Amino acid sequence: MKAVLLVGGEGTRLRPLTCNTVKAMVPVLNRPFMEHMIRYLSSHGVDDIILALCYLPEHIERYLGDGSKFGVRLTYVMEESPLGTAGAVKNAESYLDDVFLVFNGDIYTDIDLRAMLSFHHQREAKVTIALTPVEDPTAYGLIETEVDGRVKRFLEKPSWDEVTTNLINAGVYILDREVLQDIPPNTHFMFEHHLFPGLLAKGVPVYGYSTDAYWIDIGTPEKYLQLHCDLLQGKSTSSLCKEIRDKEGTRRPESFIHPTAEIEGPVIIGSGCSIGSGVRIKGPVTIGEGCIILEGAIVEKAVLWHNVRVGKQAIIKSCVVGDNSLIGDGSSVDQSSVIGDHVTITQDSHVMPDTKIWPGTKM
């Protein structure tokens, strides 16, 4: 089966993490997010993937290549200007089969794609939209369906008194190629606002596939951190996650860990790290390659990218720290803070909760 992966742009909601890193390549358990997505698609029988790109494609192509090392074939399709979700798929039309998958590149999920495809064929649908339940549906677009799953109407970001369901668009679609004729070429066009409501108005069979599979939109730093915690705690699983946990959660390749360091899992430690005496690490924690954590430091529920240096007696809790950043001796970085790459936090500083520090900053 073929799939279009909507890679998207620079990831403004994930800043400052994506100022110098393409959103699709932010690390998740020390592997680029895009690698997780490709391995997931491959595990569900998707072996031909079209990447719809509009921002810094060379960063992605340099790592992924032609996809052969992941057992898939990758095709890169660029947009000269942003075309929206549906417009990006229209731009890749010449590469597509009669039935194909579309996947939003901002989400992580373990939806059973084979079961969804079977549902699509059984209902003789032209479009099938994966639906997932959320606690606060007012922040999303709701989709009301009949008992058999046929979509009745779309409701964009309703007030609470308008809410009739907690099922939202999960950003995973199965489409029959013929619906692409309703998308104008070289035009900014959205599935949610344009194509799907238009098809519904014409009486085209559009269905919703309800699932309680794991699902998260990683578009914000808070959700990005939550994804790490969930994967380390086994709330979602994949062959790649298991491979990483088995390799870096136990053997910790080529890293030094002082015998007095206390490590309480789940923890992932990349290669070439140094963990000093009296360090306390309490999971869920992900530590990237080449990180140095000096004597007496504390790291709890955090994600450290590559080559981060944590000073003596420093404290890092519930936050994300970008590549090549320095947390000075005796400093603390508090709840929900996000530190960009190449940041220096000087000795005995305190970063307040919910602070975002941009790349290259010294404070």
- Dump pLDDT digits (tens) for 298-313: 999 999 999 999 999 9
**Dist CA 208 CA 127 (whole Å):** 8
Q: Can you tell me the mean pLDDT for 36-64?
A: 90
Give the predicted TM-score (pTM) of the model.
0.93
Q: How many residues does the chain have?
A: 363
Q: Can you tell me the mean pLDDT for 69-83?
A: 93
- Contact between 138 and 159 under an 8 Å Cβ cutoff? The reply is yes
- pLDDT of residue 22 exceeding 60, the answer is yes
The larger pLDDT score, comparing residue 289 to residue 162, is at: 289
Pick one of 1.10.10.60, 3.90.550.10, 3.10.20.740, 3.40.190.120 as the CATH number of 2-219: 3.90.550.10
**Dist CA 309 CA 328 (whole Å):** 8
| Residue (of 251, 60, 278, 290) closest to 267 by Cα position | 251
pLDDT tens digit sequence for 215-268: 999 988 999 999 999 999 989 877 787 778 777 665 566 899 999 999 998 999
Q: What is the pLDDT of residue 11?
A: 59
Kindly report the backbone phi and psi dihedral angles of residue 66, in degrees, each rounded to the nearest multiple of 5, phi listed first: -90, 5
Q: What is the pLDDT of residue 10?
A: 59
CATH number belonging to domain 222-357: 2.160.10.10
Q: What is the pLDDT of residue 95?
A: 96
Q: What is the pLDDT of residue 98?
A: 96
Q: Can you tell me the mean pLDDT for 157-167?
A: 80
Q: What is the pLDDT of residue 32?
A: 94
pLDDT tens digit sequence for 77-124: 998 888 999 999 999 999 999 999 999 988 999 999 999 999 999 999
Q: What is the pLDDT of residue 250?
A: 55
Q: What is the pLDDT of residue 246?
A: 73
- Contact between 123 and 145 under an 8 Å Cβ cutoff? The reply is no
- pLDDT of residue 139 exceeding 80, the answer is no
- Contact between 241 and 228 under an 8 Å Cβ cutoff? The reply is no
pLDDT tens digit sequence for 142-155: 899 999 999 998 88
Q: What is the pLDDT of residue 254?
A: 82
**Residue boundaries of the structural domains of the chain:** 2-219, 222-357
The vertex-172 CA angle with 119 and 184, nearest 5°, equals 105
- pLDDT of residue 175 exceeding 80, the answer is yes
Q: What is the pLDDT of residue 13?
A: 78
Q: Prior bond to 197 cis, omega within 30?
A: no
Per-residue H/E/C for 201-263:
HCCCCEEEEECCCCEEECCCHHHHHHHHHHHHCCCCCCHHHHHHHHHHHHHCCCCEECCCCEE
- pLDDT of residue 192 exceeding 80, the answer is yes
- pLDDT of residue 50 exceeding 90, the answer is yes
**Dist CA 9 CA 82 (whole Å):** 8
Q: What is the pLDDT of residue 113?
A: 96
Q: Are strands 31-32 and 27-28 parallel, antiparallel or unpaired?
A: antiparallel
Tokens of 262: 């206390």
Band of the pLDDT at 9, cuts 50, 70, 90?
low
What is the residue-averaged pLDDT of the chain? 92
Give, for 98, the enclosing helix (H) or strand (E): none
| Residue (of 153, 160, 154) closest to 139 by Cα position | 160
